[in-house]
Amino acid sequence: MKTLRPIVLAGAAISAGLAAFAGYYAVKWARYGKVDPERHPRDILLDRFVPHPEVDEYHSIDVAAPGPVTLEAAKRMDLQSALLIKAIFFLRAIPSLLRGEPFRPEGSRGILDETLAQGFGVLAEDVDREIVIGAYCRPWLQDVEFLPLPPEEFAAFDEPGFVKIAVSLAAEPLGSDSSRFVTRTRAVATDAEARRKFRRYWSRMSAGIILIRWFFLPLLKRQVERQAST
C-alpha cells in the first residue's frame, strides 16, 4: 500500500492540474473578445494602434524609483535570468520537444532587444515614459513569424488570416522618487477565420504569458529599487 501511495498522489495531482487547466481554458474561451474599455486606465499611445482589442492584458506594479529609471530597467530586463520564467519557456516548448525539435532558449538580452529581434517593430515612443512595439503574425503555427509594420499602416492593416499584436512598456510617475510600471498586451484578428484560430490558441497558451508577467513584475521592482537605493 505504501508503494501505491506516491502513484495515487501523482495521479491525483495530474487530475487536479488537468481539471484546473480545463477550467482556465473554458473561462478564457468564454471571455475572449469581451474587453471592457473602462476596466483599465486609458492608454492614448496604444489606442492609436489597437483601439478595439479582442485581448487586452494589463499588469502593473508600483516601484520606489523615478519613472525614467524604471522604464530603462524594464527595457533591459533579462527574463532568462529568472529560473521560474525560464521554466515556463521550457514548458511552452514541450510540444516542440515531443516533435523531436531541440529546445533553444533565447540568449541573455533585455526584453526590448529580444522582442525586436523576434520581428516586432517600434510603433511609438514617449521618451522616458512609454514605448509601444507591434507586429502581425499567425501565433497558432508551429514556426511563428512576427512581421513588423510601419506605424502609419498598423491600425488600418486588415489582410485576412493574421493577428495584430501591440505591446507597451510604460512608467507612470507617481512622484519624484516613485512610479508605476505598466506592461500591456493587446491583440486583434483581421478576419473571422483568424479570430477562430487565435481564440483557441489564446485560451490554451495565455496562462504561460500571464505567469511570465506575474513573475517579471516583482523581479523588476526588486532590481530597480535595489539600484535606486545604492
pLDDT in tens, 42-57: 999 999 999 999 999 9
User: pLDDT value at position 134?
Assistant: 98
Could you tell me if 155 and 48 are in contact, meaning their C-beta atoms sit under 8 angstroms apart? yes
Distance of CA 173 to the CA centre of its chain: 23
- Which of the four pLDDT bands, split at 50, 70 and 90, describes residue 18? low
As a whole number, the mean pLDDT across the chain is 84
Cell 529599487, residue located: 225
Can you tell me the distance from the alpha carbon of 11 to that of 109, in angstroms, rounded to the nearest whole number?
A: 39
Angle ∠(215,212,173) on CA atoms, nearest 5: 65
Contact of 179 with 70, CB cutoff 8 Å: yes
| Higher pLDDT among residues 35 and 91, named by residue | 35
Nearest Cα neighbor of 125 from 169, 179, 74, 176 is 169
Query: What is the mean predicted confidence (pLDDT) over 128-151?
Result: 95
Angle of CA points 133, 139, 141, to nearest 5°: 145
Q: Where are the domains of the chain?
A: 1-31, 35-229
CA distance 38 to 21: 28
* Percent share of the chain, pLDDT over 90: 59
The residue that leads in pLDDT, 60 or 212, is: 60
CB-based contacts of 149: which residues, under 8 Å, 6+ apart? 121, 134, 135, 136, 157
Question: What pLDDT does residue 106 have?
Answer: 53
Sole residue written with cell 483599465 = 40
pLDDT at 201 over 60: yes
63 with 179: CB under 8 angstroms?
yes
Q: Residue 71's Cα: distance from chain center in Å?
A: 16
Which pLDDT band holds residue 88 (cuts at 50, 70, 90)? Answer: very low
Residue 46 in grid coordinates: 496604444
Give ∠ CA 168-172-174 in degrees, rounded to 5.
160
Lowest mean pLDDT among 27-31, 34-38, 61-65, 98-102: 98-102
Q: Give the CATH number of domain 35-229.
A: 3.30.530
Model pLDDT for residues 160-186, shown as the tens digit of each residue: 999 999 999 999 999 889 999 999 999
Q: 187 with 28: CB under 8 angstroms?
A: no
Query: pLDDT: is 228 or 114 the higher one?
Result: 114
Residue 181 or residue 12, greater confidence:
181
* Average of per-residue pLDDT across 100-117: 71
- Model confidence, pTM: 0.82
Residue bearing cell 512609454? 130
